[in-house]
Amino acid sequence: MRRVFPKAALVLAALLFLNVAQAQTITVFAAASLKNALDEAAALFERESGSRVRLSYAASSALARQIERGAPADVFISADREWMRYLEEEGFLEPGSSRELFGNRLVLVAPASRPLALEPEPGFAIVPALGEGRLAMADPRHVPAGRYARAALEKLGVWSAVEDRLAPADNVRAALALVARGETPLGIVYETDAKAEPGVMVAGRFPAASHPPIVYPVAMLKGARPGTAPFIAFLSGPQARRVFERHGFAPNP
């Protein structure tokens, strides 16, 4: 009896632990451009930890707005610092939990069925290249990918020329879809998006100096469920890094 009791207790504890671990579900709000890479990384984490990860992708601005409205998310991964800072100022972040994960690059893409080469440089001939079509990009008013794109085009001196030729999309993946479908002759997305979509080809790369550095901050939100901290730690770890690098994300600058 005395020999059984400790074993039973252990088994019970293990079961309890597994149960508790099994019941862990973390909700992650992530920038749209992270879709393919984060799906893979999260699956890896689920297998190892036993937690369930629920992923919700949209433009960082839209996500910030939802969190502000009280959406029950545990983790927020933004595509730029501004939106993370916004939430921090509004007091939605768990203090000290924020860290920067990795970077990205901006590229000019064209449909794979109508490829062309056009290197973004000061005063480059983007308007003739558009012809009668439009330039697809995430909404430059609030979506990070759009803001970076606008900054780059301004820096290169062609923004005023294309300003009214835009096809603004809700998020960068929607912009990518427009180009992939051939709806627009050109689009501006992240390098990782171009890599993920066989329907587009890279026409040219924007110089890194033409826009603020693209970084992806991650943070735990106030009131996050237990099991969140391990996930964030996992994202910064070597396994996750390998996954993201394979998808084309640059290591944290």
Partner 1 sequence: MWILTPEESAALVLSLKVAFWSVAASLPVAVALAWLLSRKRFPGKSLLDAIVHLPLVLPPVVVGYFLLLAFGRRGPIGAFLDEFFGISFAFSWTGAALASAVMGLPLLVRAVRQSLDAVDRGLESAAATLGASPAWVFASVTLPLILPGIVTGMVLSFARSLGEFGATITFVSNIPGETQTLPLAIYAFTQVPGGDAQALRLCILAILLSLAALMASEILVRRATARAAGRDA
Q: Does 199 participate in binding partner 1 (rule CB under 8 A)?
A: no
- Binding-site size, partner 1 (CB under 8 A): 21
Long-range contacts for 236-243 (Cβ within 8 Å, ≥24 apart)?
A: 236/99, 236/101, 239/41, 239/44, 240/41, 240/44, 240/45, 241/102, 243/37, 243/40, 243/41, 243/44
Choose, by CB under 8 A, the member of 103, 182, 207, 230 that binds partner 1: 182
Among 68, 239, 251, 253, binds partner 1 (CB under 8 A): 68
Q: Of all helices (H) and strands (E), which one includes residue 38?
A: helix 35-49
Region near partner 1 per CB under 8 A, out of 102-110, 115-123, 176-184, 224-232: 176-184
The DSSP symbol for 210 reads G
Nearer to partner 1, 37 or 137 (CB): 137
Closer residue to partner 1, CB minimum distance, 7 or 132? 132
Site residues for partner 1, 127-156, by CB under 8 A, read 134, 139, 141-142
Q: Work out the widest C-alpha separation in the chain, in whole angstroms.
A: 86
- The span from the CA of 31 to the CA of 43, in Å, is 17
Query: For the chain, how far is it from start to end, CA to CA, in angstroms?
Result: 60
- Minimal distance, residue 182 CB to partner 1, in Å: 5
Among 183, 199, 241, 248, binds partner 1 (CB under 8 A): 183
Residues 6 or more apart in contact with residue 3 via CB below 8 angstroms: none
Q: How far is the CB of 143 from partner 1 (least distance, A)?
A: 9
Residue nearer to partner 1 on the CB measure, 181 or 242: 181
Residue 165 tokens, joined: 């030729």
Interacting stretch for partner 1, rule CB under 8 A, among 120-128, 174-182, 196-204, 220-228?
174-182
Half-sphere exposure of 207 (CA within 13 A, CB side): 10
CA distance linking residue 117 with residue 102, whole number of Å? 28
In this structure, which amino acid lies at residue 29? Answer: F
Interface with partner 1 in residues 45-64 (CB under 8 A) = 59, 61-62, 64
Residues that bind partner 1 (CB under 8 A): 59, 61-62, 64-65, 68, 86, 134, 139, 141-142, 164, 166-170, 178, 181-183
